[in-house]
A and B are shown apart, each in its own frame.
Chain A
Amino acid sequence: MNINEALDLDALSSQNSIVHNLEGRIKLIAVLVIIVFTVYSNQLLVPVVMEIFLLIMIFLANLSFINSFKRIALLLPFGGFIILFQPFIHPGAIIWQSSVSWLHITDLGLNWAILLAARLIVSLTAIVLLSSTSPVQEIVQSFRKLGMPKDLAMILSIMVRFLFVFIDELSAIRTAQKSRNFNIHSKLTPYKWRIKQVGYTIGMMFLKAFEKGENVYFSMISRCFSDNSQLYSSKKNINLSDYSYLALIIILMAILQVTVMFFNQDLGYLGIVLYS
């Protein structure tokens, strides 16, 4: 996660396109449904088709494919690390054997690696689409409208308001440090000293967070905030195009599910059916 990314996202998500103009709740539900449907499918056809669908949506939203792929690539390391193990840990027919007896690649292992990579890429593409077409406040408001518990929704709502304040705050601290030639990754200064400076920076951020929290609280009670207060939500109706978008996704998933059930034996990488 990069702090500049958050600022870029805010600008990206405020653009105008067919996808940007969809209602927030519909976009959120659509992404959640796509992720859940894809990650619990064991057939490679599902992530492939869903990825194509998401790429079409990215195109319709006028988003840059290169930037979207870059964001996805940056998020792959931890998942990629786990995927690397898959060809070696699943029992199955051996398709490659090393000189060490226990180190071999099986067909089922390779299937799992490919399937997990496909699932990961689809879920990350869905998140990239959501975050690039919906401002943060819209996502939070959608959660509230969909019935998130009041306390949690309130914390979430105030948190995202202050997110950008802290990102700016951190950027200001970093600029000040940079102007004094401080570089966290520079090996010209002792490691211990660098970590100490980072500790002080985090300490200051923590202090600022607390103090800002108190100030926010005082300004809220001065405006009659109490336990019974409700947050304001702008009213936006769900119209026909929103329903159509959701219906399109559900129909696509239904067709995929039927296809997978009907041609079960013929689908899947290397002709093997995967079971969880």
Chain B
Amino acid sequence: MHIPDGFIPYWQCAIYYVILIIALYFASRWARNNLDEKRIPLMAVLAAGIFAIMSMNLPIPFGTSGHMVGGTLVAIVFLAPEAAILVFTVVLLIQALLFGDGGITALGANVLNMAIIGGGVGLLTFKGLKNFIGKYPAIGIGAWLATFISAEFCAIEMIIAGKFPLIIGLTSMGILHAFIGIIEAVLTVIVIYVLEKYRPDLLAWNRKRKSNELVI
């Protein structure tokens, strides 16, 4: 899903960069208001962890392999898509500059797909469904939907750029990421389960509840 350099026309790249700058402004404001000075080391080390997690190749049915993205994971842990934006901007920048994984000119588009849409869709789905179907199924559906919709957005961006046929582009990216999304969903659920079991204080919903109890 990492769009490389040279596939998106420059005026479209400029639009995605403007979206990235606006998103970074709001993400920085959120971090200042919610994480104090702890935000910098926490986000930095988390970004390094996400980078390592993304480097793990996972087996996917049909003989291919892929890796976890983690946009939904970060957004759900902090209950804020802004966290995913901050983490993924630095992760994708380093991936592009060191490993050529995703383009420098396409950085705005890649952050939009994986962090803004991925984190946002995952978190909104989780928040919307958790009271109806339970916490873990909502996390799973959120992560799956985030992967699927991010991939479709990536396809739409390539279609707008004139580099992807409409039907085949949407279908091929959709089918492939529907499978990858299942793995992303299972892994996101397991990771949240592990966090809830061993360090519940790290999850934003537990922190909020705790602070309420203290107030009462």
B-side contacts of A154, CB under 8 Å:
40, 44
Q: Is B56 an interface residue (CB 8 A)?
A: yes
Alpha-carbon distance A39/B44, docked complex (angstroms)? 31
Among the listed A82, A194, A213, which residue makes an inter-chain contact with B45, where contact means beta carbons less than 8 Å apart?
A: A213
Could you mark each residue 99-118 of chain B with 1 if its beta carbon is under 8 Å from any beta carbon of chain A, else 0?
A: 11101110000000000000
CB-CB nearest in chain B for A41 = B6
Q: Is A152 an interface residue (CB 8 A)?
A: yes
Q: Is B16 an interface residue (CB 8 A)?
A: no
Are the CB atoms of A89 and B165 closer together than 8 Å?
Answer: yes
Could you mark each residue 190-205 of chain B with 1 if its beta carbon is under 8 Å from any beta carbon of chain A, else 0?
A: 1101110011001000
Are the CB atoms of B49 and A123 closer together than 8 Å?
Answer: no
Are the CB atoms of A85 and B163 closer together than 8 Å?
Answer: yes
Tell me the B2-55 residues at the A interface (CB within 8 Å): 2-7, 9-10, 24, 28, 31, 37-55
Are the CB atoms of A217 and B41 closer together than 8 Å?
Answer: yes
Tell me the B176-199 residues at the A interface (CB within 8 Å): 183, 186-187, 189-191, 193-195, 198-199
Are the CB atoms of B163 and A116 closer together than 8 Å?
Answer: yes
Knowing A152-B90, A155-B40, A216-B45 are in contact, say whether A127-B191 is a contact too (CB < 8 A).
Answer: no
Q: Is A253 an interface residue (CB 8 A)?
A: no
Alpha-carbon distance A196/B100, docked complex (angstroms)? 30
Q: Is B96 an interface residue (CB 8 A)?
A: yes
Among the listed B54, B103, B199, which residue makes an inter-chain contact with A207, where contact means beta carbons less than 8 Å apart?
A: B199
Q: Is A233 an interface residue (CB 8 A)?
A: no
Could you mark each residue 131-148 of chain A with 1 if its beta carbon is under 8 Å from any beta carbon of chain B, else 0?
A: 100001001000000000
Are the CB atoms of B100 and A167 closer together than 8 Å?
Answer: no
Could you mark each residue 261-276 of chain A with 1 if its beta carbon is under 8 Å from any beta carbon of chain B, else 0?
A: 0000000000000001
Alpha-carbon distance A130/B6, docked complex (angstroms)? 18
Q: Is A71 an interface residue (CB 8 A)?
A: yes
Are the CB atoms of A35 and B28 closer together than 8 Å?
Answer: no
Could you mark each residue 151-170 of chain A with 1 if its beta carbon is under 8 Å from any beta carbon of chain B, else 0?
A: 11011111111110111011
Q: List 5 tightest A-B contacts by C-beta distance, closest first.
A: A209-B49, A199-B190, A203-B194, A119-B6, A158-B44
